[in-house]
């Protein structure tokens, strides 16, 4: 529904304020003034006349016990409404998200439909939103940072209630965002490359038969796994880096994407029909080994996401761009502070010292792909083939992983009763893409762990991701079912749930009984965390730079956006990475699929690593992972620093990570 003009309610507000103050007392004056101002700011001609406004305000303003009853009623019905809408959305995306059977053309339509797209529009039309705005004050990020520590839990929950109705975005705009996101999700979920069909200049196949890698997750993880092979893995890593470069620059032939019937030399970019058939089915009769490049589809998808989300801007006067909303509203972290945190890691003198350690261990100069060096991890010397065998034997299907949840949680440090309770509230599904965690939104529903499971069962890459998603699910389950107010369910922002997931993911080899504690293990873990943060912090700066460029060039074409992304990636690389890797103008930092389909999500990973380090250090002091994860998860959606102060005693920042890294480097010298 289109918007209609606002009406002048200045005189009416004065008269209504006087009447309400006479009824409820002078103590309610400020609440009355703020509430009327909030309603008037979003009241439109279609909502009624000035007389209708007056009648509404006199009928729905509440104070004292009536206000508490109103809040409780709203919290109850909103949990039901949002929870069931979430379940409907999950069912609409069921076959596009899960690897159960072939997708139908209909699934494309279903996955792009958002049944809750009209909720905010409807809530304003039926005056539900105005009831909230009349009775509960909206607060800015500055107010929350200044005063939030003095608020009660209910006051925080009320702030989250108002957040639901702080913008009046038309349903057609919300739906456009859902459609763009759905299209990008499908594009990324099907971006598989058949590594066995990559050949070198001698026509040799470096990778195993049947190996299918999803960009970027599997490409990156395959590259990381080859460090266990030493020099023997170097040709594989260099080839993967070439593939990544082709994807980012969009010089990759479209014919090789998710096609096991052609061979491809990434170095020369030649495509030929394959004589090796290692995929189910038979080659299509009209197969052509066409070398034509993918037509900037990657950047067209990103541009469509930007164009869709930009339609929200006119309806968000306080946070008028997606960048503002992403940092001020969603992260509750000013962008200047977030960028400074990222740069503090990337520009740290510790980078050069850690790079020197890596170069010494590799016995060669660093190459750009060594930004994903994984040799610090416990068990890093175990071959991925061995890990694949272990995982495939244990988890041949989703049900096997589901059955193992409780024992895994016990091994991680949860009591048997709590582990069983968690496992009963987490379902496991086979993912069509790389995998993800989908929390519930009402307490009668369960979280879903989506993980990729191949024909031969889960492999180690899938297991590593699944353990990460398990961390999300544990946080989601605690923060929904054990928090005191439904409106506080969750954590301050996505970086916090990523931090919880990183804590779990770092223990994946422990769950496979493949870790052996040895002198220096703690130092190795610290260096691994620092190097991972350094890598993703650069990607985060690229992601931020891309969105800033798109807002500065709103009419850009996909080709222009591609050139801009390549330059932004090169600029970040040249500033923070080239001095340590000996090569300029590298574009590998732009390979992340999140850049394409996740609406400025990547900074949550980098900030999440910083938070994870703070959480891990606190847990190490207490020695009680299960109890501490539950305590922290039930703090709820407070502001980031307030949550972290209550969780660990320190505000959010990179200092714990930097201190741990410096200490680890000192231990290595001993």
DSSP annotation string for 331-378: I-S-HHHHHHHHHHHHT-THHHHHHHHHHHHHTS---GGGGG--TTST
578 and 646 in a single domain? The answer is: yes
Residue 506 located in a structural domain? yes
Residue 444 located in a structural domain? yes
Range of the domain at 556: 313-376+519-669
Residue 304 located in a structural domain? no
Q: Left, alpha or beta for 269 (phi > 0: left; psi -120 to 50: alpha)?
A: left
371 and 409 in a single domain? The answer is: no
Q: What is the pLDDT at residue 372? A: 98
507 and 523 in a single domain? The answer is: no
Q: Please return the burial class of 280, using the count of CB atoms within 10 Å of its CB with bins 0-12, 13-18 and 19+.
A: exposed
14 and 160 in a single domain? The answer is: yes
Residue 172 located in a structural domain? no
Q: What is the pLDDT at residue 381? A: 60
574 and 531 in a single domain? The answer is: yes
471 and 496 in a single domain? The answer is: yes
Residue 56 has pLDDT above 70, yes or no: yes
Nearest Cα neighbor of 467 from 516, 415, 512, 420 is 512
Residue 523 located in a structural domain? yes
474 and 566 in a single domain? The answer is: no
CB neighbours of 22 closer than 8 A, spacing ≥ 6?
none
Q: Which of 238, 266, 294 is the C-terminal boundary of a domain? A: 294
Q: State the Cα–Cα distance between residues 526 and 533, nearest whole angstrom.
A: 11
Q: Which of 495, 511, 527 is the C-terminal boundary of a domain? A: 511
148 and 91 in a single domain? The answer is: yes
Average pLDDT over residues 317-327: 90
Percent of the chain with pLDDT over 70: 97
pLDDT higher at 277 or 86: 86
357 and 261 in a single domain? The answer is: no
- Across the chain, what does the average pLDDT equal? 93
Residue 179 located in a structural domain? no
17 and 143 in a single domain? The answer is: yes
- pLDDT digits 0-9 by tens, 397-451: 999 999 999 999 999 999 999 999 999 999 999 998 778 899 999 999 999 999 9
Average pLDDT over residues 199-224: 94
- For the domain that residue 462 is a member of, what is the CATH number? 3.40.390
Average pLDDT over residues 4-17: 87
Rg over alpha carbons for the chain, rounded to the nearest Å, is 26
pTM above 0.85, yes or no: no
Q: What is the pLDDT at residue 241? A: 98
Q: State the Cα–Cα distance between residues 214 and 454, nearest whole angstrom.
A: 12
Contact (CB, 8 A) for 512 and 478: no
Q: What is the pLDDT at residue 266? A: 97
CB neighbours of 431 closer than 8 A, spacing ≥ 6?
97, 98, 99, 450, 451, 452, 453
Residue 126 has pLDDT above 70, yes or no: yes
Of 67-76, 107-116, 385-394, minimum mean pLDDT range: 107-116
Residue 178 located in a structural domain? no
281 and 403 in a single domain? The answer is: no
Contact (CB, 8 A) for 525 and 376: yes
332 and 397 in a single domain? The answer is: no
Q: Is residue 438 within a helix (H) or strand (E), and if so which, with residue range?
A: strand 435-438
Query: How many domains does the structure of the chain reveal?
Result: 4
Q: What is the pLDDT at residue 1? A: 42
Residue 303 located in a structural domain? no
- pLDDT digits 0-9 by tens, 522-577: 888 899 999 999 999 999 999 999 999 999 999 999 999 999 999 999 999 999 99
């Amino acid at each position: 529904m289109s918007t209609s003009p606002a009406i002048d309610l200045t005189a009416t507000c004065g008269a209504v304020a006087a009447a309400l103050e006479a009824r409820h007392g002078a103590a309610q004056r400020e609440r009355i003034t703020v509430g009327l101002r909030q309603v008037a700011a979003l009241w439109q001609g279609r909502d009624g006349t000035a007389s209708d406004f007056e009648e509404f305000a006199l009928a729905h303003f509440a104070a004292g016990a009536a206000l508490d009853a109103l809040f409780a009623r709203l919290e109850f019905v909103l949990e039901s409404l949002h929870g069931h809408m979430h379940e409907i959305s999950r069912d609409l995306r069921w076959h596009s998200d899960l690897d159960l059977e072939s997708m139908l053309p209909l699934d494309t339509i279903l996955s792009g439909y958002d049944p809750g797209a009209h909720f905010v529009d409807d809530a304003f039309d039926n005056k539900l939103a105005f009831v909230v705005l009349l009775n509960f004050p909206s607060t800015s990020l500055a107010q929350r940072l200044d005063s939030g520590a003095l608020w009660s839990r209910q006051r925080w929950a009320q702030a989250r209630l108002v957040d639901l109705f702080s913008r009046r975005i038309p349903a057609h705009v919300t739906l456009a965002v859902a459609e763009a996101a759905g299209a990008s999700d499908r594009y990324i979920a099907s971006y598989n490359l058949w590594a066995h069909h990559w050949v070198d200049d001698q026509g040799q196949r470096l990778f195993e038969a049947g190996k299918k890698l999803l960009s970027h997750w599997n490409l990156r993880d395959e590259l990381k796994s080859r460090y266990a092979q030493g020099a023997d893995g170097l040709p594989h890593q260099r080839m993967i880096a070439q593939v990544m470069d082709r994807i980012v620059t969009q010089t990759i032939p479209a014919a090789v994407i998710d096609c096991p019937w052609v061979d491809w030399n990434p170095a020369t970019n030649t495509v030929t029909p394959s004589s090796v058939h290692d995929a189910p089915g038979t080659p299509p009769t009209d197969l052509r080994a066409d070398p034509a490049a993918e037509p900037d589809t990657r950047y067209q998808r990103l541009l469509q996401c930007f164009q869709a989300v930009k339609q929200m801007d006119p309806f968000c006067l306080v946070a008028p761009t997606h960048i503002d909303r992403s940092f001020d509203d969603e992260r509750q972290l000013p962008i200047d502070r977030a960028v400074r945190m990222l740069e503090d890691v990337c520009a740290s003198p510790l980078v050069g010292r850690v790079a020197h350690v890596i170069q010494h261990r590799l016995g060669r100069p660093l190459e750009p792909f060594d930004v994903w060096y994984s040799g610090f991890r416990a068990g890093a010397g175990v071959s991925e083939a061995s890990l694949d065998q272990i995982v495939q034997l244990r988890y041949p299907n989703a049900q096997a992983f589901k059955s193992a949840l409780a024992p895994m949680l016990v091994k991680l440090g949860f009591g048997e009763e709590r582990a069983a309770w968690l496992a009963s509230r987490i379902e496991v599904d086979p993912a069509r893409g790389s995998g993800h965690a989908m929390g519930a939104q009402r307490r009668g529903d369960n979280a879903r762990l989506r993980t990729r499971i191949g024909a031969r069962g889960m492999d180690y890459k899938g297991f590593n991701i699944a353990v990460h998603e398990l961390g999300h699910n544990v946080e989601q389950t605690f923060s929904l079912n054990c928090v005191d107010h439904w409106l506080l369910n969750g954590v301050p922002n996505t970086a916090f749930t990523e931090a919880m997931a990183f804590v779990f993911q770092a223990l994946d080899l422990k769950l496979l009984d493949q870790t052996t504690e040895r002198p220096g293990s703690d130092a190795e873990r610290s260096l691994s965390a620092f190097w991972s943060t350094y890598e993703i912090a650069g990607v985060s700066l690229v992601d931020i730079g891309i969105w800033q460029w798109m807002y500065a060039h709103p009419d850009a074409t996909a080709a222009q956006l591609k050139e801009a992304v390549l330059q932004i990636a090169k600029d970040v690389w040249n500033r923070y990475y080239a001095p340590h890797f000996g090569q300029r103008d590298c574009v590998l930092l732009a390979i992340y699929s999140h850049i394409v389909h996740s609406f400025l999500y990547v900074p949550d990973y980098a900030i999440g690593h910083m938070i994870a380090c703070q959480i891990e250090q606190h847990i190490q002091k207490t020695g009680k992972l299960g109890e501490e994860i539950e305590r922290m998860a039930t703090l709820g959606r407070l502001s980031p620093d307030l949550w972290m102060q209550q969780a660990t005693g320190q505000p959010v920042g990179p200092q714990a990570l930097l201190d741990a890294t410096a200490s680890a480097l000192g231990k290595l010298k001993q």
